[in-house]
Structure 1
Amino acid sequence: MLNIGRFNELTVLRQLPRGLQLDGGSHGEILLPKQYTSEDMKVGDTVKVFIYRDSEDRLIATTQTPLAMVGDFAYLNVVDESPVGAFLDMGLQRDILVPFSEQNNRLEKGRKVLVRIYLDDSDRLTASTKLDTFLYDTDETDAYKTADEVNIVVGAKTDLGIKVIVDGTYWGLIYHSDVFQPLNRGDKLKAYVKRVREDKKIEIIIQKPGFARVEGLAGDVLDQLRSEGGFIPLSDKSAPDDIKKKFRCSKNSYKQAIGTLYKQRLIRIEKDGIYLEA
């Protein structure tokens, strides 16, 4: 089965002056233009190609890697405007359309925008800024529990924190008080479920909660101690902002981390900071 808007492994049927004809199954033969072929591609070989429709709505293959595929959320540049909508750079020969009907606000050339990639009724790659159409606000299926690892895409900032897309399916929120590193719209990274509230909304945190995260932070503190000659001027009495600036964590997490190191007799804690034990 051919997956339009994604990578496929297709067999080379014929070699032509303009490129290679690939076996698209029920979709017929699909051209891989000559500029995307290599000398080692022979008839009978299987090649990995991305499939989409060209400007004449013909299926076309490419070995280029797009900036996003069908089902993805991506932060893309608006490169043109037209009577039917705005076009975004997909990293392919053809740009992707955001129809006016799929724009929350009018898109202008030069902006970047977070979109969801999908196929329209004619199997053409299309983008939408109406993210709520594709996401659930709540975890009604009880899919998540505290400390579960998730993949997130960073969305917009709110008064409470930063909205994030969780596993391409749900909206989640990282509270401002839980942000210990720069987060920009469109960033993709690993994160963890802080908790699922009674109203089924998902709270997210970048650092893994609980003892496993303390171990990780303790290791970071130990590495930093060694690289700075065995002393860091931050104790359990230091200001939260100083700790956050240095280790991108809360004061409570830092205290747990240095407590772990102290119990293992790796450091000593003084008023002026922590010292690496010999």
Structure 2
Amino acid sequence: MILGDFNDLEVVREVDFGLYLTSDDGDLLLPRKYVEPGTQIGDVVRVFVYRDSEDRLIATNLEPFARVGQFAALTVRDVTSTGAFLDWGLEKDLLLPYRNQRRNLRPGERATVFVYLDDTSDRIVASAKWEWFLSSDPFPGKVGDAAELFVAEETDLGYKMLVDGTHQGLIYHNEVFKPLRLGDVHTGYIRAIRPDGKLDLSLQQLGYDEARAQADTLLEALRAAPDGRLPLGDKSLADDVYRRLGMSKKIFKKALGALYKQGLVDLAPEHTQLRG
């Protein structure tokens, strides 16, 4: 049986308050409120296993926001002398001990954490020092590759990202053209690989490949616009461009240029017209 993950366990007996499941670590309770109708002795059920408030093994069919070995952005429910307690989608909150915190947290705050099994106590706990749990191997990708980006932390320079769940990267503030929220996951791209192994990132494809991709988006918007005319041009504000098209002003201008070279649009300072 794996603590802090889902397991397929057999029902061995029934009591008034639930079902007992068998495992290599002894029988554990699946409380009545988590029992699916029709479940019988001998059935194998898929359950998440953790410890209750009295440190007893217990099962649930609820899906936690993170399992052992995963990163997540979780909300602080309470703070006590032991540490912060985080909402991770289960009946018992997840402990973030003081020793694992970067700073003191308050109820209602969100924090990026790594969930792990503490070897000493055999309890599932969280650590806000999530960088300690990243891979030390060189990043296996290359510049221009697409990657899954998890928004981990905002800094003075920009946003720290978890890249494919294994490495750390940064998107600078001047490269961000849409709201980013802690815990959001976006598709992004590798802009540079630094000598220290950290990554510079972008939310948009790089260079002319990016412009070609966004040119299709712009063309669709023009075709959907009344009379094939968009109130966006070379002199439009970056905020207006992003609000309408979801792309940066820089990429918008490259996309305009690509469509113009193909003879598909006429350009004006504050509007773009699709040719008939």
**TM-score (norm. length: structure 1):** 0.87
Secondary structure class of the residue paired with 1:27: coil
CA deviation profile, 1:68-88 (whole Å, cap 9, x unmatched): 221222222222222222211
Structure 1 residue ranges without an equivalent (≥5):
none
Q: In the TM superposition, what are the counterparts of 1:146-157 in structure 2 within 5 Å?
A: 146-157=143-154
- The alignment partner of 1:181 has SS state of coil
Specify the alignment match of 2:163 in structure 1: 166
Paired position in structure 2 for 1:130: 129
CA distance in 2, matches of 1:257, 1:41: 58
Q: Is the counterpart of residue 117 in structure 1 residue 93 in structure 2?
A: no
Moved more, 227-236 or 46-55: 227-236
Deviations 1:40-59 (A, max 9, x none): 32333332211111112121
| Cα separation, partners in 2 of 1:258 and 1:41, compared to 1, 3 Å | farther
The one-letter code sitting in structure 2 at the alignment partner of 1:17 is: D
Partners of 1:12 and 1:21 within 8 A in 2: yes
Distance 1:120 1:178 in 2: 38
Q: What pairs up with 1:55-66 in 2 under 5 angstroms?
A: 55-66=53-64
What is the root-mean-square deviation in Å for CA atoms of aligned residues? Answer: 2.3
Contact kept, 8 Å, 2:110 with 2:182, in 1: the verdict is: no
User: CA–CA distance in 2 between the matches of 1:215 and 1:41?
Assistant: 55
- Aligned-partner residue type, residue 185 of structure 2: K
Report the Cα offset of residue 159 of structure 1: 2.9
Query: Which residue type is aligned with residue 193 of structure 1?
Result: I
Which residue does 1:258 correspond to in 2? 256
Matched, 1:21 2:8: no
Q: CA deviation at 1:62?
A: 0.4
Aligned pairs for 1:1-278 (under 5 A) are 2-24=1-23, 26-121=24-119, 122-135=121-134, 141-229=138-226, 230-278=228-276
| Paired residues of 1:144 and 1:196 also in contact (CA < 8 A) | no
Seq. identity, %: 43
Measure the CA separation in 1 of the matches of 2:185 and 2:69. Answer: 15
- Helix, strand or coil: the match of 2:33? helix
Aligned residue pairs, count:
274
Q: TM-score with structure 2 length normalisation?
A: 0.88
Looking at structure 2, the residues matched to 261 and 67 of structure 1 have their Cα atoms a distance apart, in angstroms, of: 44
User: Match of 1:130, as an amino acid?
Assistant: K
Q: Does the C-alpha gap of structure 1 residues 20 and 263 become closer, same or farther in structure 2, counting only changes over 3 Å?
A: farther
